């Protein structure tokens, strides 16, 4: 019982210390949220794998907006609900939008769209919809809301406002972050796409930190030839730019397992940290309490475990976080280039598809690329803020390796 | 050395000769310029050797893969296929592994990196010579700008520490360092390029406007800068935060140093104190970090150049990997490492030039 | 507050009080300090650690830490008949004043030189900052001064700071200190952290230079024998106040304040018996809540009720030798007894 309460009081005092640093506290809260979203939410949110819009073509990356009459707005959630109704369709390209399977169930009325966005297509469709000449309207752009808002004719505007509901951008329940090129819910991908990525990065970070810790302390404690050799090797590896090396390795061996990639990244990622840890151990060794232990004839192993390591815990922890950010950087970088496994649908893979499917360059499709971009960016920022706060809170004298 | 018997004395006499020799060798070694140059040479050697083993001796290495591919594709016997591959990689198929190694080594030193596999007849060196300058241009400019900017902003943060300015800049810096550089690149494309339509990302592909003639003329230089602008901005944004934070802490410790205090008591002008007394000393530790940064930024060019479709060395490396052009890949990698080592050497030597304490004695 | 100063007074400190604002309260670092410094005169400030010596000297060039506040007083410099209050100078005037009128060698200033600039550059910087741009003239002057401090001028002038030893740096700093012919040079423990021989050399150099260049010195030291050797005037500082001030011989042979006396007797002298070495009992007072009356009274062997109520004024029979104590007689008697004991 007292053990548990001491853990709680430990956590409490830690929170109190970290909350002094506002940015760090923000980072900490962010990480807690990330943990919740990526590790707990997947049990409640289903991964949306139903490519329900595969058969509908439209400009790449555009989001599909469903506009319906006010009266029966909540009846239409899926394409199936629209069976037998007349659906007006407007696309930017003006080309055919529905492909066979739907034509059996829906009556399609096409409204052509000029090359300019303000073309008569939307207007005509909206008027038809407001007058209840058609039951619903599909539009492959988010600009329909803007279009209604910017409507200058007061009469039309009134008509639209009274009669039209826009569920944007949707077929089915509304999507927080919109849908991807296949009409799948991006938010569900974000929820599911973090865990493996984070675990792999943590694995990589742990491996490089462990190697750095072992080699760094060995070099510092034993000195002499061992130190020289280890330092020389470290400097050598440090001279090779790591990312191109990974890229080349990816070209030679094809990485087909995300965790294996994490291990490899970990195996290559230790040199900078090793140098920092070596310096840290060297300076700790000079301190009084270590010298006292040495003069008592305690073994090197004992001194390392009992005297030096406890004094480096925060330093190692902080650098572990930085290692994790680096491992993540490299992993996602490889994925973005398409050189790492894309079978697991992570944020990196979302980014990869967002890029290869051209949504990057389409204003309406931005969410597909922007969502993972922000997920990754904010996660990394949270880690960095948190680590810097730890640095300040625990020991301002300790400087991180990077 | 304490000697007790006469013959030991004789021995120590000799030993001290050896010692003195050792001392003078060590003295030369401690010479900063000499030491960093030697280290650079050793590194280059090690990397060239490493690449040799990577390409030839690893299980599943490209040579075996290629030989097999050609055998299957063209139905020719192993020896013929092997000879073809050997010709591309430019090694003597009959020589022993050791001879091949020395051959490879001397080839690399003569900058002979073989010919491309996918487009036969193209020498890899020529391709690299085409792409490398652009990468150096973009990365070099980016690093220079961010280094200078980081020093200035970092000093401002230190001088106005705990002011709102400091807090805001610190937060910015954490964002800048925290977000990976390719994410910055994507953000720039998506948000500034597409959403706000500030520039036409599509038109900025490549390294310069083909309608201009390369050379020392204004339209060409302008278009080169335009095309490199986004990669440069990305390099700057992603590295700036690090410089700022480092410069801030470094400046704060220098501000506590006696000589700054004394300089004020000497009645020196603030501008002189800030530049030659505070700035110069505070920037010194950043030069050591520059060496790590150069490799990192050059390496990250592979993704950045892909994102902006900037045709530099990284783009070439990626292209050769996707087409499995192993000779090109090997060549780019070697050149990339040599470039990094060389850039580090320059940074190191500059450091020696800026800090007289390491110039001769090597002790810091 | 006598604005009229004799021609030979170069520095007058008038009722100077300084507090440091800290989290735990205001530290009353100096209280009502006043003294005159004459041309060519050397004055020593002696006192325990924390008594406020550095604070006084820093205020003379207005180089106090940011949390310090001058609550009262003036620091007047006289040059060619002009009297200026340093505390009222504009930023620009202050910059020009520093080093030209008053140079300071800081406490423990082993790192007084910018490590990345040659000594030559640092001399030139100093000269240029005060409008002296002729590098050759600066060089001639610097070499002459370096020779005066007994260094190899050519070598030192072209050296980087790290190529000089601690003592050499200190002497170079002395040379730099007098580069602009200041009227006053402040030396805050210039010899601590140096070995005895180097200390000696520096003191010799200093005496030598002062004779040749005729500047005034404010000399701060823990080492009373050095103070005795260097100074013409000695001021004893206790808890931020000058408790006794006078010519060096008067102070050393006829101390009128129990604290001065305590300081002197706590120095082991070769010709005295070891057991006579009486150090002052107790610890220096907390300056956030200083004792009432005479600040020394909690530690004073001659304390009476009056001491804890009223602070004694700085006064004396001779105008040049003043002490702030109610019980000078008691001290005199005790000293006589002590002398007898020694004699026996
Ligand atoms: N920056 C500061 N902030 C707060 N208090 C200070 C500061 N500097 C000095 N003090 C306090 O002011 C008093 C006088 O300090 P000062 O440095 O003048 O003493 P000192 O006589 O020079 O001592 P020492 O012989 O050790 O150099 C001390 O009590 C000290 O604690
Ligand atoms: Mg002092």
Query: Can you spell out the DSSP letters for C116-176?
Result: TS-HHHHHHHHHHHTT---HHHHHHHHHHHHHHTTS-HHHHHTS-GGGS-HHHHHHHHHHH
- Pick the residue with more confidence: C94 or A302? C94
Q: Which residues contact A368 (CB under 8 A, 6 or more apart)?
A: A61, A178, A180, A181, A186, A350, A353, A354, A357, A359
pLDDT, residue A182, reads: 65
Question: In the predicted model, what is the mean pLDDT of residues B68-92?
Answer: 79
Confidence of residue C138 (pLDDT cuts 50, 70, 90): very high
List the C42-46 sheet strands across, edge first: C102-105, C184-188, C216-220, C42-46, C233-238, C241-247, C322-323
DSSP bridge partners of B121: none
Question: In the predicted model, what is the mean pLDDT of residues B217-225?
Answer: 83
Nearest CA distance, A267 vs chain B (angstrom): 16
Helix (H) or strand (E) holding C86: none
pLDDT, residue A400, reads: 40
Question: In the predicted model, what is the mean pLDDT of residues C26-38?
Answer: 90
Tokens encoding A147: 């279009």
Q: Which residues contact A313 (CB under 8 A, 6 or more apart)?
A: none
**Are B258 and C108 an interchain contact pair (Cβ–Cβ within 8 Å)?**
yes
Confidence of residue A280 (pLDDT cuts 50, 70, 90): confident
What is the C-alpha to C-alpha distance for residues C118 and B109, in angstroms, rounded to an integer?
Answer: 41
DSSP bridge partners of C104: C186
Ligand 2 centroid – CA C260 distance (Å): 18
Confidence of residue B2 (pLDDT cuts 50, 70, 90): very low
Contacts 24+ apart (CB under 8 A), C310-317: C314/C34, C314/C242, C314/C243, C314/C244, C314/C245, C316/C246, C316/C256
The answer to whether residues B108 and B131 belong to one domain is no
pLDDT, residue C126, reads: 93
What is the C-alpha to C-alpha distance for residues C190 and C195, in angstroms, rounded to an integer?
Answer: 12
Confidence of residue A174 (pLDDT cuts 50, 70, 90): low
The answer to whether residues B85 and B215 belong to one domain is no
Between helices B326-354 and B78-89, what is the axis angle to 10°? 30
* CA distances in angstroms from B136 to A335, B60, C100, listed in the order given: 25, 33, 50
Tokens encoding B225: 């800068």
CB C103 within 8 A of CB C155: no
Give the one of B272, B354, B356 whose C-beta lies nearest to C125's C-beta: B272
- Pick the residue with more confidence: A381 or B199? A381
What is the C-alpha to C-alpha distance for residues B141 and C263, in angstroms, rounded to an integer?
Answer: 65
pLDDT, residue C18, reads: 93
Q: Which residues contact A82 (CB under 8 A, 6 or more apart)?
A: A76, A105, A106, A135, A136
Query: What single-letter DSSP state applies at residue C298?
Result: G
What is the C-alpha to C-alpha distance for residues A238 and A231, in angstroms, rounded to an integer?
Answer: 10
The answer to the question of residue B19 being in a domain is no
* CA distances in angstroms from C165 to B177, C170, C194, listed in the order given: 42, 9, 10
Ligand 2 centroid – CA A385 distance (Å): 40
pLDDT, residue A365, reads: 67
For residue B160, count other CB atoms closer than 10 A to its CB.
Answer: 13
In angstroms, what is the C-alpha Rg of chain C? Answer: 21
pLDDT, residue B60, reads: 64
Question: In the predicted model, what is the mean pLDDT of residues C138-156?
Answer: 91
* pLDDT tens digits, B244-297: 999 998 999 899 888 999 999 999 999 999 999 999 999 988 887 887 788 888
Question: In the predicted model, what is the mean pLDDT of residues C10-37?
Answer: 90
* pLDDT tens digits, C302-328: 888 888 888 888 888 888 899 988 888
The answer to whether residues B147 and B85 belong to one domain is no
Helix, coil or strand: residue C63: coil
The answer to the question of residue B11 being in a domain is no
pLDDT, residue A287, reads: 74
pLDDT, residue C136, reads: 93
* Interface membership of B43 toward A (CB under 8 Å): yes
CB C99 within 8 A of CB C63: no
Please provide residue C302's backbone torsions phi and psi, each rounded to the nearest 5 degrees. Answer: -105, 25
The answer to whether residues B229 and B327 belong to one domain is yes
- With the most atoms of ligand 1 within 8 angstroms of its CB, the residue from C24, C46, C49, C52 to mutate is C52
Q: Tokens 């061992």: give the residue.
A: A226
pLDDT, residue A363, reads: 64
In order, the DSSP letters of B43-81 are HHHHHHHHHHHHHHTSTT-HHHHHHHHHHHHH---HHHH
Q: Which of B29-38, B255-264, B338-347 has the lowest mean pLDDT?
A: B29-38
Tokens encoding A10: 């430990």
The answer to the question of residue B50 being in a domain is no
Nearest CA distance, C151 vs chain B (angstrom): 21
- Pick the residue with more confidence: A328 or A124? A328
Confidence of residue B75 (pLDDT cuts 50, 70, 90): confident
pLDDT, residue A143, reads: 63
* Domain annotation for chain C: domains and CATH numbers: 9-231 (3.40.50.300), 250-343 (no CATH)
* CA distances in angstroms from B271 to A326, B275, B276, B278, C91, listed in the order given: 39, 6, 8, 10, 14
Confidence of residue B143 (pLDDT cuts 50, 70, 90): very high
Question: In the predicted model, what is the mean pLDDT of residues B65-86?
Answer: 80
Question: In the predicted model, what is the mean pLDDT of residues C37-50?
Answer: 89
Kindly tell me if the per-residue pLDDT of A97 is higher than 50: no
**Are B268 and C125 an interchain contact pair (Cβ–Cβ within 8 Å)?**
yes
pLDDT, residue A120, reads: 62
Q: Which of A264-273, B62-71, C24-33, C168-177 has the lowest mean pLDDT?
A: B62-71
In order, the DSSP letters of C161-181 are GGGS-HHHHHHHHHHHHTTT-
* Interface membership of A366 toward B (CB under 8 Å): yes
Handedness of CA B263, B265, B268, B270 (dihedral sign): positive
The answer to the question of residue B74 being in a domain is yes
The answer to whether residues B153 and B268 belong to one domain is yes
Nearest Cα to A330, choosing from A213, A247, A240? A247
- With the most atoms of ligand 1 within 8 angstroms of its CB, the residue from C47, C49, C50 to mutate is C50
Residue C318 CB burial class (10 angstroms; 0-12, 13-18, ≥19): exposed
The answer to whether residues B83 and B194 belong to one domain is no
Confidence of residue C122 (pLDDT cuts 50, 70, 90): very high
- Pick the residue with more confidence: A108 or C84? C84
Kindly tell me if the per-residue pLDDT of A141 is higher than 90: no
pLDDT, residue B287, reads: 84
Kindly tell me if the per-residue pLDDT of B225 is higher than 70: yes
CB proximity under 8 Å: B 326-345 to A:
326, 329, 332-333, 336-337, 340-341, 344
Residues in chain B within 8 Å Cβ distance of A366 = 190, 194-195
**Are B356 and C112 an interchain contact pair (Cβ–Cβ within 8 Å)?**
no
* Interface membership of C114 toward B (CB under 8 Å): yes
For chain A, percent of residues with pLDDT exceeding 90: 17
CB-based pocket (< 6 A), ligand 1: C 20, 22, 27, 29, 47, 49-55, 65, 67, 107, 287
pLDDT, residue A203, reads: 95
The answer to the question of residue B10 being in a domain is no
What is the C-alpha to C-alpha distance for residues C278 and C274, in angstroms, rounded to an integer?
Answer: 9
Confidence of residue B14 (pLDDT cuts 50, 70, 90): low
Q: Which of A296-300, B266-270, C203-207 has the lowest mean pLDDT?
A: A296-300
The answer to whether residues B70 and B107 belong to one domain is yes
Kindly tell me if the per-residue pLDDT of A402 is higher than 50: no
Question: In the predicted model, what is the mean pLDDT of residues B200-217?
Answer: 75
Kindly tell me if the per-residue pLDDT of A17 is higher than 60: yes
* CA distances in angstroms from A261 to A333, B192, B299, listed in the order given: 12, 33, 18
Instruction: Give the CA count within 13 Å in the CB-facing half-sphere of C226.
Output: 25
Distance of CA C176 to the CA centre of its chain: 19
The answer to whether residues B96 and B161 belong to one domain is no
Render the burial of C274-302: b for 16+ CB within 10 Å, e for the rest.
eeeeeebeeebbebeeebebbbbbbbbeb
Q: Which of A1-15, A85-99, B64-78, B139-153 has the lowest mean pLDDT?
A: A85-99
Residue B141 CB burial class (10 angstroms; 0-12, 13-18, ≥19): middle
Which residues constitute the domain of residue B100? 61-112
**Are C126 and B266 an interchain contact pair (Cβ–Cβ within 8 Å)?**
yes
Whichever domain contains B329, its CATH number is 1.10.3720.10
Please provide residue A68's backbone torsions phi and psi, each rounded to the nearest 5 degrees. Answer: -135, 170
Most confident of A50-64, A236-250, B111-125, B143-157: B143-157
Q: Mean pLDDT, chain A, as a whole number?
A: 77
Task: Report the first-to-last Cα separation within chain A, whole angstroms.
Answer: 41
pLDDT, residue B95, reads: 72
DSSP bridge partners of A136: A68, A87
Q: How many H helices and E strands in chain A?
A: 17, 5
The answer to the question of residue B291 being in a domain is yes
pLDDT, residue B8, reads: 41
**Are A380 and B317 an interchain contact pair (Cβ–Cβ within 8 Å)?**
no
The answer to whether residues B157 and B247 belong to one domain is yes
Kindly tell me if the per-residue pLDDT of A110 is higher than 80: no
For residue A45, count other CB atoms closer than 10 A to its CB.
Answer: 16
Q: Tokens 């409204």: give the residue.
A: A111
Nearest Cα to B296, choosing from A279, A381, A202, A271? A271
- Pick the residue with more confidence: B80 or C162? C162
pLDDT, residue B321, reads: 85
pLDDT, residue C273, reads: 46
The answer to whether residues B66 and B142 belong to one domain is no
CB proximity under 8 Å: C 171-200 to B:
173, 176
Counting CB pairs under 8 A, whether chains C and A reach 3 or more, is: no
The answer to whether residues B266 and B231 belong to one domain is yes
Nearest Cα to B332, choosing from B309, B351, B305? B305
Q: Residue B357: closest CA among chain C residues belongs to which residue?
A: C162
The answer to the question of residue B25 being in a domain is no
CB C100 within 8 A of CB C182: yes
CB B332 within 8 A of CB B313: yes
Question: In the predicted model, what is the mean pLDDT of residues B154-165?
Answer: 92
List the A136-139 sheet strands across, edge first: A107-111, A86-90, A136-139, A65-69, A164-167
Q: What is the complex's ipTM, to 2 decimals?
A: 0.85
Confidence of residue A96 (pLDDT cuts 50, 70, 90): very low
pLDDT, residue A47, reads: 79
For residue A357, count other CB atoms closer than 10 A to its CB.
Answer: 17
Handedness of CA C310, C311, C316, C319 (dihedral sign): negative
The answer to whether residues B348 and B230 belong to one domain is yes
Ligand 2 centroid – CA B263 distance (Å): 19
Q: Mean pLDDT, chain B, as a whole number?
A: 82
Q: Measured from the CA of C27, which atom of ligand 1 is nearest?
A: 5
* pLDDT tens digits, A43-67: 888 777 765 544 444 444 455 667 7
Tally of domains within chain B: 2
- Pick the residue with more confidence: C222 or A57? C222
Nearest Cα to C63, choosing from B274, B279, B268? B268
Question: In the predicted model, what is the mean pLDDT of residues C179-206?
Answer: 83
What is the C-alpha to C-alpha distance for residues B339 and A63, in angstroms, rounded to an integer?
Answer: 45
User: Which of these three, B88, B112, B136, is where a domain ends?
Assistant: B112
Confidence of residue B44 (pLDDT cuts 50, 70, 90): confident
The answer to the question of residue B3 being in a domain is no
Nearest CA distance, A234 vs chain B (angstrom): 11
Distance of CA B336 to the CA centre of its chain: 8
Tell me the whole-structure pTM to 2 decimals. 0.81
Instruction: Give the CA count within 13 Å in the CB-facing half-sphere of A255.
Output: 26
Q: Mean pLDDT, chain C, as a whole number?
A: 85
For chain B, percent of residues with pLDDT exceeding 70: 90
Question: In the predicted model, what is the mean pLDDT of residues A257-266?
Answer: 89
Kindly tell me if the per-residue pLDDT of A180 is higher than 80: no
Confidence of residue C190 (pLDDT cuts 50, 70, 90): confident
Question: In the predicted model, what is the mean pLDDT of residues A95-108?
Answer: 55
Residues in chain C within 8 Å Cβ distance of B276 = 114, 117, 125
Distance of CA A184 to the CA centre of its chain: 17
pLDDT, residue A172, reads: 44
pLDDT, residue C294, reads: 87
**Are A23 and B178 an interchain contact pair (Cβ–Cβ within 8 Å)?**
no
pLDDT, residue B142, reads: 94
What is the C-alpha to C-alpha distance for residues B220 and C230, in angstroms, rounded to an integer?
Answer: 73
Most confident of A345-359, B139-153, C205-219: B139-153
Nearest CA distance, A76 vs chain B (angstrom): 31
What is the C-alpha to C-alpha distance for residues B133 and A267, in angstroms, rounded to an integer?
Answer: 32
Q: Residue B257: closest CA among chain C residues belongs to which residue?
A: C111
């Amino acid at each position: 019982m007292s053990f548990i309460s001491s853990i709680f009081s430990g956590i409490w005092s830690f929170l109190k210390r970290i909350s002094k640093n506002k940015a760090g506290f923000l980072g900490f809260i962010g990480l807690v949220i990330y943990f919740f979203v990526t590790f707990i939410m997947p049990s409640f949110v289903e991964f949306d794998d139903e490519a329900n819009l595969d058969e509908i073509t439209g400009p790449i990356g555009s989001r599909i907006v469903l506009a319906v009459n006010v009266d029966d707005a909540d009846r239409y959630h899926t394409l199936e609900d629209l069976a037998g109704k007349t659906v007006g369709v407007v696309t930017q390209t003006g080309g055919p939008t529905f492909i066979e399977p739907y034509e059996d169930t829906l009556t399609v009325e096409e409204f052509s769209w000029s090359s300019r966005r303000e073309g008569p297509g939307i207007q005509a469709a909206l008027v038809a919809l407001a007058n209840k000449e058609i039951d619903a309207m599909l539009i492959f752009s988010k600009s329909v809301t803007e279009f209604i808002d910017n409507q200058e004719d007061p009469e039309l505007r009134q008509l639209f406002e009274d009669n039209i509901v826009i569920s944007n951008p949707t077929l089915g329940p509304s999507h927080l972050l919109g849908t991807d090129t296949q009409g799948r819910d991006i938010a569900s991908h974000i929820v599911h796409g973090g865990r493996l990525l984070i675990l792999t990065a943590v694995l990589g970070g742990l491996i490089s930190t462990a190697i750095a810790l072992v080699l760094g302390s060995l070099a510092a404690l034993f000195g002499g030839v061992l130190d020289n050799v280890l330092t020389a090797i470290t400097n050598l590896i440090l001279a090779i730019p790591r990312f191109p090396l990974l890229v080349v390795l990816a070209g030679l061996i094809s990485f087909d397992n995300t965790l294996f990639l994490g291990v490899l990244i970990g195996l290559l990622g230790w040199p900078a940290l090793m140098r920092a840890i070596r310096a840290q151990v060297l300076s700790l060794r000079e301190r009084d309490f270590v010298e006292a232990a040495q003069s008592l004839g305690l073994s090197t192993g004992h001194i390392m475990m009992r005297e030096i390591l406890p004094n480096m815990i925060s330093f190692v922890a902080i650098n572990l976080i930085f290692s994790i950010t680096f491992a993540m950087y490299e992993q996602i970088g490889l994925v973005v280039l398409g050189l790492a496994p894309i079978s697991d649908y992570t944020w990196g893979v979302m980014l990869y598809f967002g890029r290869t499917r051209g949504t990057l360059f389409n204003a309406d499709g931005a969410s597909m690329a922007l969502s993972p971009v922000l997920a990754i960016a904010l996660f990394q920022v949270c880690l960095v803020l948190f680590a810097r706060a730890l640095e300040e809170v625990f020991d301002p004298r300790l400087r991180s390796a990077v | 050395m304490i000697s007790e018997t006469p013959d030991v004395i004789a021995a120590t006499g000799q030993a001290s000769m050896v010692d003195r020799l050792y001392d003078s060798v060590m003295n030369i070694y401690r010479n900063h310029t000499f030491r960093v140059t030697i280290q650079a040479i050793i590194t280059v050697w090690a990397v060239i050797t490493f690449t040799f083993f990577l390409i030839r001796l690893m299980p599943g290495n490209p040579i075996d893969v290629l030989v097999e591919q050609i055998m299957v594709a063209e139905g020719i016997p192993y020896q013929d296929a092997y000879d073809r591959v050997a010709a591309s990689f430019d090694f003597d198929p009959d020589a022993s592994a050791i001879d091949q190694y020395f051959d490879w080594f001397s080839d690399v030193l003569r900058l002979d990196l073989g010919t491309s596999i996918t487009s036969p007849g193209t020498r890899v060196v020529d391709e690299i010579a085409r792409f490398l300058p652009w990468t150096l241009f973009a990365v070099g400019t980016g690093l220079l700008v961010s280094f200078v900017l980081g020093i200035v902003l970092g000093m401002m943060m230190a001088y106005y520490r705990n002011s709102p300015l400091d807090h805001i800049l610190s937060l910015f810096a954490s964002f800048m360092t925290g977000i990976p550089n390719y994410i910055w690149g994507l953000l720039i494309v998506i948000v500034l390029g597409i959403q706000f339509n500030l520039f036409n990302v599509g038109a900025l592909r490549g390294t310069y406007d083909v309608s201009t003639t390369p050379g020392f003329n204004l339209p060409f230089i302008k278009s080169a800068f335009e095309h490199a602008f986004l990669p440069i901005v990305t390099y700057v944004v992603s590295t700036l935060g690090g410089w700022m934070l480092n410069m801030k802490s470094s400046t704060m410790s220098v501000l506590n140093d006696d000589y700054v205090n004394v300089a004020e008591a000497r009645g020196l002008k603030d501008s002189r104190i800030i530049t030659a007394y505070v700035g110069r000393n505070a920037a010194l530790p950043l030069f050591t970090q520059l060496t790590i940064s150069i490799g990192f930024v050059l390496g990250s060019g592979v993704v950045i150049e892909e994102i902006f479709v900037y045709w530099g060395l990284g783009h070439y490396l990626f292209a050769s990997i996707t087409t499995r052009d192993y000779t090109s890949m090997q060549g780019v990698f070697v050149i990339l490492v040599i470039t990094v080592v060389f850039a580090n050497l320059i940074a190191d030597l500059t450091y020696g030039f800026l800090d007289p304490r390491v110039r001769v004695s090597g002790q810091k | 507050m006598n604005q009229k100063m004799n021609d030979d007074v170069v520095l007058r400190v008038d009722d100077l009080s300084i507090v440091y604002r800290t989290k735990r309260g205001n530290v009353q670092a100096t209280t009502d300090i006043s003294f005159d410094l004459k041309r060519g005169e050397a004055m020593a400030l002696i006192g325990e650690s924390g008594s406020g010596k550095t604070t006084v000297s820093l205020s003379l060039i207005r180089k106090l830490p940011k949390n310090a506040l001058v609550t009262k007083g003036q620091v007047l410099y006289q040059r060619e008949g002009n009297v200026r209050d340093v505390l009222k100078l504009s930023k620009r005037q202050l910059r020009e004043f520093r080093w030209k009128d008053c140079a300071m060698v800081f406490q423990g200033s082993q790192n007084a030189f910018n490590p990345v600039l040659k000594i030559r550059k640092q001399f030139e910087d100093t000269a240029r900052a005060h409008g002296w741009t002729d590098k050759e003239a600066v060089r001639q002057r610097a070499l002459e001064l370096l020779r005066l401090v007994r260094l190899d001028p050519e070598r030192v002038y072209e050296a980087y700071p790290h190529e000089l030893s601690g003592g050499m740096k200190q002497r170079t700093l002395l040379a730099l200190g007098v580069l602009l012919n200041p009227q006053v040079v402040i030396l805050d423990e210039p010899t601590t952290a140096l070995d005895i021989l180097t200390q000696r050399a520096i003191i010799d150099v200093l005496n030598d230079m002062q004779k040749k260049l005729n500047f005034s010195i404010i000399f701060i030291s823990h080492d009373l024998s050095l103070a005795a050797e260097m100074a013409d005037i000695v001021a004893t500082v206790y808890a931020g106040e000058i408790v006794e001030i006078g010519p060096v011989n008067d102070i050393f042979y006829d101390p009128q304040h129990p604290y001065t006396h305590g300081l002197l007797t706590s120095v082991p002298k070769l010709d005295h018996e070891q057991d006579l070495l009486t150090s002052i009992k107790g610890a220096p007072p907390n300056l956030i809540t200083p004792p009432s009356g005479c600040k020394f009274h909690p530690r004073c062997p001659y304390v009476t009720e009056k001491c804890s109520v009223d602070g004694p004024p700085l006064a004396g029979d001779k105008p040049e030798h003043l002490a702030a104590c109610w019980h000078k007689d008691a001290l005199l008697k005790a000293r006589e007894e002590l002398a007898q004991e020694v004699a026996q």
